Each structure stands twice: as structure tokens, then as C-alpha cells.
Amino acid sequence: MAVYFHEEDLPEGVLAPGPVAVDTETMGLITPRDRLCVVQISDGKGDEHLVRFAKGSAYDAPNLKAVLADPARVKIYHFARFDLAAIEYYLGVTAAPVFCTKIASKMTRTYTDRHGLKYLVSELLSTDISKQQQSSDWGAPTLTEPQREYAASDVRFLHRLRDILAERLEREGRTELAQACFDFLPARARLDIAGWADKDIFSHE
């Protein structure tokens, strides 16, 4: 298992075919204001790749974009809504089709209100991960080793979580409904970018 660090694009051919786990690190939580700094990606075979974008980047990353936009590859996220918005706004691609472990958790782990990645990894995989670097400066000129390890850990477990949660969705008869939610997420992300992040457009009010 290794963590590979790249500047501005993913090298060609470093990922095996099939689903990829994806995450992003940004300067904050408001997509148009807080620039995309890092995209993490893993094919689930044991290695993680971190692609860093510098201040002023043109986000011209053809290899990474090709993987993210590939309709034959499922992209596994935890809280896909945020990552899809960041990727679409800065990289200009729709990174779908989607499996979101947070949505799957909320639809299957209804016995708890703890759906963060740390809790999922702890309960389902009996592993502890640190979230200490979550709010660190991802736009710094140099990323520290703790930052790199944190970023890698955000995609390291997603394939295994997807497998477990997909089984639970099937067990509870909720696979079709979950898939409909996953399919809607790119549109939900575009609504966020367009200004409806805090509005429920389906509500009566």
C-alpha cells in the first residue's frame, strides 16, 4: 500500500479498471469561493493517488478528468453532493455514476445518527481513522505528511464500505430508491452551485 502525490494531473494508466473512490479537499465549504486544492482517488487495490492543484491552477488535468467523467466507472464518495459540486465547478466534468456511502448509511443504519466516515469505518470495518487534519490549510504551498495521510484515508476504505452498504440496501429492499438518490446527486450539486444550497425546492414553503 502506498500514497502517491501528483501535481496538477493524474499520471496515465495508474488505475485499474472498475469503480474508483473519490474525495476532494478545498479551502472551505462554499464551492464558488473556496477553491479545489486536492482530489484523492483510489481503485481499491491498495494505493491512493493525491492530485494537488496550486493557487491559480487552470485545472487542465486531462487524465484525471477522463477517469472522473468515464460513464463506465462508478465513483464512490462519502457525501458525494459536495465533491460533485467541487469537481464540476473547477474541473468542468460530471463525476458520475455515483455511489454515496453517506446516503447508503442513512438509508440502512437507521439505528444511529452518526453517519460520518469515521463512524462508518469504526463500526463496519473495526478500524480507527483520524480526522485531525480535516480543517487544515489545504491551499498551503506544501502539504504535510499528516495532511497527505488524512487525504489518502478518505478514499482508502470506500470500496469496502460500498460493498457492505450495498448488501444492506439489498437486504432492506432499498437498493432501487438509493440508486434514484445517487442518480439525482449531480443535479443536486448543480443546484448548490447555482444558489439553492440551503433551500429545499421540494418543500411546500
Mean pLDDT of the residues in the chain:
96
The answer on pLDDT for 46 being more than 70 is yes
201, part of any domain: no
Q: What is the CATH number of the domain that holds 161?
A: 3.30.420.10
204, part of any domain: no
128, part of any domain: yes
The answer on pLDDT for 132 being more than 80 is no
pTM attached to this predicted model: 0.96
In this structure, the number of other CB atoms found within 10 A of the CB of residue 119 comes to 14
50, part of any domain: yes
Listed range (69-73, 155-159, 170-174, 198-202) with the worst mean pLDDT: 198-202
* Spatial contact of 91 and 36, defined as CB atoms under 8 Å apart: yes
What does the pLDDT read at residue 133?
A: 67
Listed range (4-13, 26-35, 181-190, 194-203) with the worst mean pLDDT: 194-203
Give φ, ψ of 129 to 5 degrees: -125, 150
**Range of 146's domain?**
3-196
202, part of any domain: no
103, part of any domain: yes
Structure letter (DSSP) for residue 3: E
Give φ, ψ of 94 to 5 degrees: -95, 110
| Domains held by the chain: number | 1
205, part of any domain: no
Cell, residue 119? 463512524
Task: Name the pairing type of β-strands 75-77 and 48-52.
Answer: unpaired
**Which tens digit of pLDDT belongs to each residue from 86-124?**
999 999 999 999 999 999 999 999 999 999 999 999 999
DSSP 61-80: -HHHHHHHH-TTS-EEESSH
139, part of any domain: yes
The answer on pLDDT for 203 being more than 70 is yes
